[in-house]
Structure 1
Amino acid sequence: MENVPNFSKSLWMDTVKLPDYPGLKEDITVDAVVIGGGITGISTAYMLQKEGLKVALLEANKVLAGTTGHTTAKVTIQHDLIYDKLKNQFSEEFARLYGESNSAGLQFIKDIIKEKNIDCDFVAQNSYVYTQSDDYIQKIQDEVKTAQQLGLKATYLEKVPLPFDIKCAVCFEDQAMFHPLRYLAALCRLINEKGQCIYENTRVLDIDQDASGDKKLIVIAENEVKVYCDYAVIASHFPFFDGFGMYFMRMYAQKSYAMAIKTKKGFAEGMFINAEQPTRSLRYTPFNGEKLVIIGGEHHNTGQDANTMVHFENLRDFAEQTYGINEILFRWSTQDLMTLDDLPYIGRLTTGKQNVFVATGYKKWGMTTGTMAGLLIKDLILKKQSPWEELYTPSRFKSDPSLKNLAKEGVMIAKEFIKGKLKAASQTLEDLQPDAGKVIDIDGNKVGVYKNSEGRTYMVDTTCTHLGCEVQWNSAERSWDCPCHGSRFDVDGHVIEGPALKPLKQLN
């Protein structure tokens, strides 16, 4: 059987040449600062600039190297079985608004690709949720009925173009897929056409009120550079600035996995995901004149699985059984944020922070949602009325499921915090193999140790710099991951992903 590649590499990041943008070295003044260089931040910055605002886009690391660079890139309003759930949990009107808002995100992407003639492998596709389990037949039937009531192009099917039998499926017509980084690289070029607006390696640490000048806010970066602005948009995946919004209690992070494979059997048209667990997501992408099949799934809460490599192996086994494997060219993982009620948080950060906006918690459907977030935030900044504002407002607390899930997540975080503190560490380094990591005990202190293939060791304090949970080793990605709030650190302790802002302490 084909071996899983030893190192993680995103198909999208490997097949596009992105420019390097400078770091911000001096204080500047703009109308709006957008913090985060993924699809949300880039889309929002572009939209605000088109409206005549002077914009700065700040990215802590490399633009498009985060979640957006590790997506499966389905541009669809079909987000699992969501519409009947929203109708029952909230209202039919909220379910309608969810479809309407994400349809607007999809249409924006279609329109700008056509208008600007962006070469990004954009292809119209039908999108399917299927099941092989009797337990989900009624749920799919209910989803079709609700979607049709909402005016969406949904169809009930008992056969789909997959090489195995299913019980049934719901098909959404006129969806799409694309190469996300080629699309967004084009938007970056448009943003920078009138001068330097995009800055990399500029980690923002705080947002403060500007009491001394004409602007309302000061955005403060780690190199003590300040940006004076009227509006700040936090598009950094997990909000680095909480503003007493308690986002760390209202979201949790999940890891999921993907592979791009040369298969022995051909792949028909369409994008697919199953309703049951374990998740199996499928689409193809053009690659050097042929089709690669992208297979994804296998999610779990970040930092809460001791053997992350097994998830790639499970996807490989599924691919072998379903299509046969000639070669696995790429494998990567991503981290997505889940909210208490399955709706994103998009809007004003808190009721007390009227000029600070946030977009987060997309539940793995960031292509349309991240674009729609830009449309919504643009309207709020321009003081326009948006029919979507109430649906996505981060200040909502509408339902009993939210209360129940808040208690559940609170218990989970407390459990992981205590487990990390009490878990015994290994006593020695003797059994640590090359290219492996583990937590050891040194003089009563827990130390995270990684040994590379040449035998060099990297030692860090395992206490997460966010809220003090103990990080765990992620063997598939060679990183230290926090099981409480999803912060991730490289072997040197540097922050890969927030909400942590400070690195782990190096111990060697």
Structure 2
Amino acid sequence: MTHNHYTNQNLPQHTHSYWTEALHLPNYPRLNKDIQVDVVIVGGGITGITSAYLLVNEGLKVAILEADTLLNGTTGHTSAKITAQHDLIYDELIQHTGQSIARLYYEANVDALKFIEKLVTTLHIDCDFVNQDAYIYATTEEYARKLEKEALAYEKLGIEGELVDEIPIDIAIHNALVMRKQAQFHPLKYLSHLVQLITEKGGYIFENTTAVNIHTGEQPIVFTRDGAQITANYVLSCSHFPFYEGAGLYSTRMHADSSYVIAAKTNKEYPGGMYISADQPKRSLRSATINGEEMVLISGESHKVGQGGDILSHYKALEDFGQHVFGLETIPHRWSAQDLITVDKIPYIGEITPSQKNILIATGYRKWGMTNGTVAALLFRDAVLRRQNIYREVYTPSRFHMNPSLKNFLVENANVVGHLIKGKLEHPNKLLSDLSHNEGGVVTINGHRKGAYRDTEGKLYVVDTTCTHIGCEVEWNNGDCTWDCPCHGSRFSYTGEVIEGPAEKPLQQYDYTMLDNLLSEDSGY
């Protein structure tokens, strides 16, 4: 094993996704007037952009509304594997939804991979697309047996894959399951090419435009926070969490997971392939070329949003793993990702409710958004054009499998209630004067619970810790300097602005500068 003097102290101070930092897209205007189109798409990630590309090619008038800037959300923070090997899933799908649904889920994701590969080839998109074999590996006997069951599921479903005894990485394993000819790419290079084609064909893109509600009907109207309205024949909700739930109650049927990524230059040469551990703690590996140098993306450490404790420890755990396996020279980038997971682990894609056929959603990709997001775009195209699609029933949001959906539904909502009550009963001991520079946390001010962050210059930001979605108490994320809600996964900046839904309104902000100055004088700093 090669070692050097690299330490945890060399982790980057701030979280920046390599994908978003390496590519600069044009800026698009805010929607400031009422307009009418054929299809309005809410969300500028892989689902929204691919949907817009497909629909403008059909001659439709399309508009994308993005609350922030294009590709700055979940798509911009992915590990960008394009694969139908979605961890351990196929044996479970056979048990809970049947062999037919499990096979269709596999076929849908293979079709998505082929669709992306075909676009890259025919449009000559320079996006670092390369075919790779994908591996799930087991480091314990318990998970080796689970991989054997997953391999049997592959056989039943006609999936090309095989069990192997070793992988070309210095990790002691019991066995591994390989799926050949999968792929990886630079997602933003791929999607930025589609964005250019969308605008060339007359598609509208509006950034910093937050959709907040829908007036339903034959021609639904999307209302934006700033007052502008957009009327369309179809509304496609492609935001990470549906900005509009209707009667679907999607916040009760999903939970949000956080995971973490570091991009590292290693001492050992990376052998190729994409890898993910079957065991916990989860470890995922792939290569990426950054500034002309090959680096390794090491990701994992997933947990429910707002329930991860010391977030910096998760980044450090990934670093320790990388140091042990590869030896690390530098870590130029680190970032976190957030993913929604449905109660049966299949995304919700389709009509928001059976009675609202012109409002469609796509959510709950369970960390596999490159293929599932593309599946969603293809399903949306066919729904708008009123074409049949064999995958419609697999993903329909109105499904509800009794096992495991009912059990998981009850468990998830018990978790929400538990955190709602727990947060209201907690009485923080930390005070404003206890915060150092670049430190945040829940504090007590005049007997009340507040959230406070002191930046590197000493400036103080104070917010109400009550999430604006259903009233759970947010927790401080010291790895990303955000406030995260443990109930439904809403995230807020340290200033209180919404980063991730389902919350739509920011946390209430307070100015305690005068009080902080008095405390600083009294405490002597």
TM-score range, shorter chain: over 0.9
* Alpha-carbon separation, structure 1, partners of 2:201 and 2:222: 22
Instruction: Give the distance between the partners of 2:340 and 2:251, measured in 1 at CA.
Output: 11
Q: Distance in 1 between matches of 2:26 and 2:211?
A: 21
State the partner residue of 1:68: 75
- CA deviation after TM superposition for structure 1 residue 286, in Å: 1.6
- In the alignment, is residue 5 of structure 1 matched against residue 12 of structure 2? yes
Q: Are 2:52 and 2:203, in contact at CA under 8 Å, matched by a contact in 1?
A: no
The 5-angstrom pairing of residues 349-368 of structure 1 reads 349-368=352-371
CA separation in 2, counterparts of 1:235 and 1:64?
12
- Do the aligned residues in 2 keep the contact of 1:83 with 1:143 (CA within 8 Å)? yes
SS of the residue 1:149 aligns to: helix
Q: Which of the residues 416, 420, 437 maps onto 1:434?
A: 437
Is 1:187 aligned to 2:194, yes or no? Answer: yes
Q: Secondary structure at the match of 2:344?
A: coil
Q: How far does residue 388 in structure 1 lie from its aligned partner after superposition? A: 1.0
2: CA distance between counterparts of 1:502 and 1:164? 46
TM-score (norm 2): 0.94
Q: How many residue pairs were aligned? A: 504
Q: Is 2:21 the partner of 1:18?
A: no
Partner of 1:309: 312
Residue number among 65, 82, 101 corresponding to 1:58 in the alignment: 65
What is residue 349 of structure 2 aligned with on the other side?
Answer: 346
Deviating beyond 6 angstroms after TM superposition, the runs of 4 or more aligned structure 1 residues are none
- 1:321 counterpart (315, 320, 324): 324
Match of 1:261 in 2: 264
Q: Give the Cα separation in 1 of the matches to 2:194 and 2:149.
A: 39
| 1:162 equivalenced with 2:152 (yes/no) | no
- Structure 2 Cα separation of the partners of residues 456 and 146 of structure 1: 56
Q: Does 1:443 align with 2:446?
A: yes
Shift of 1:307: 0.6
1:91-102 equivalence runs, <5 A: 91-102=98-109
- Counterpart amino acid of residue 173 in structure 2: I
Structure 1 CA distance, aligned partners of 2:397 and 2:223?
Answer: 23
Normalised to the residue count of structure 1, the TM-score between the two structures is 0.97
In the alignment, residue 15 of structure 2 is paired with which amino acid? S
Q: Distance in 2 between matches of 1:219 and 1:337?
A: 24
Which residue in 1 is equivalent to 2:474?
A: 471
Deviation per CA, 1:9-57: give whole Å up to 9, x if none. Answer: 1111111121111111111110001100111111111111112211101
- Which whole-Å CA distance do the structure 2 matches of 1:422 and 1:51 have between them? 55
| Structure 2 CA distance for aligned equivalents of residues 130 and 499 of structure 1 | 35
Q: What's 1:422 paired with?
A: 425
1:107 aligns with 2:114: yes
Equivalence for 2:488 = 485
Give the drift of 1:82. Answer: 1.1
Deviates further, 387-396 or 357-366:
387-396
Mapped to 2, the partners of 1:332 and 1:287 lie a distance apart of: 15
Question: Is the CA contact (8 Å cut-off) linking 2:247 and 2:353 kept in structure 1?
Answer: yes
Q: Distance in 1 between matches of 2:394 and 2:459?
A: 51
Alpha-carbon deviation of 1:461?
0.9
Distance across 1 between alignment mates of 2:509 and 2:195 = 35
Which residue in 2 is equivalent to 1:494?
Answer: 497
Quick one: which amino acid aligns to residue 436 of structure 1?
E
Gaps of 5+ in 2: 1-5, 512-525
1:445 CA displacement:
2.3
SS in 2 for 1:192: helix
AA aligned to 2:98 is S
Percent identity over the alignment is: 47
Task: Identify the residue that residue 523 of structure 2 maps to in structure 1.
Answer: none
Amino acid at match of 1:327: T
Q: Which residue of structure 1 aligns with residue 38 of structure 2?
A: 31
Q: Secondary structure at the match of 1:484?
A: coil
| Deviation at residue 427 of structure 1 after TM alignment | 5.3
**What amino acid does structure 1 have at the position aligned with 2:429?**
S
Mapped contact 1:432–1:451 kept (Cα < 8 A): yes
Conserved 8 A contact 2:61-2:203: no
Q: Which amino acid aligns with 2:220?
A: L
2:466 counterpart of 1:459: no
Amino acid at match of 1:423: E
| Match 2:91 to one of 79, 84, 87 | 84
- For 1:141 and 1:428, locate their aligned partners in 2 and report how far apart those are by CA, in whole Å: 53
Between the aligned partners of 2:307 and 2:374, the Cα distance in structure 1 is: 30
**Cα-Cα RMSD:** 1.1
Q: Displacement, 1:162?
A: 1.1
Given residue 44 of structure 2, which amino acid in structure 1 is its aligned partner?
G
- Report the Cα distance in structure 2 between the residues aligned to 1:451 and 1:164, rounded to whole angstroms: 41
1:120, distance to aligned residue in structure 2 (A): 0.4
Tell me which of 240, 245, 266 is aligned to 1:242: 245
Residue identity opposite 1:263 in structure 2: T
How far apart, CA to CA, are the structure 1 residues paired with 2:291 and 2:448?
51
Distance of 2:219 and 2:389 partners within structure 1: 23
Shift of 1:400: 2.1
- In structure 2, C-alpha distance between the alignment counterparts of 1:125 and 1:104, rounded to whole Å: 16
Q: Distance in 2 between matches of 1:71 and 1:296?
A: 10
Quote the Cα distance in structure 1 between the aligned partners of 2:328 and 2:440: 30
Question: 1:83, CA displacement in angstroms?
Answer: 1.2
Deviations along 1:179-203, whole A, 9 cap, x unmatched?
Answer: 0010011111111103351110000
Q: Check whether the contact 1:90–1:399 (CA below 8 A) recurs between aligned residues.
A: no
Contact kept in structure 2, 1:33 and 1:56, CA below 8 Å: yes
Distance 2:457 2:395 in 1: 50
1:377 to 377, 380, 388: 380
* Aligned partners of 1:125 and 1:270 also within 8 Å: yes
2: distance between equivalents of 1:196 and 1:387? 28
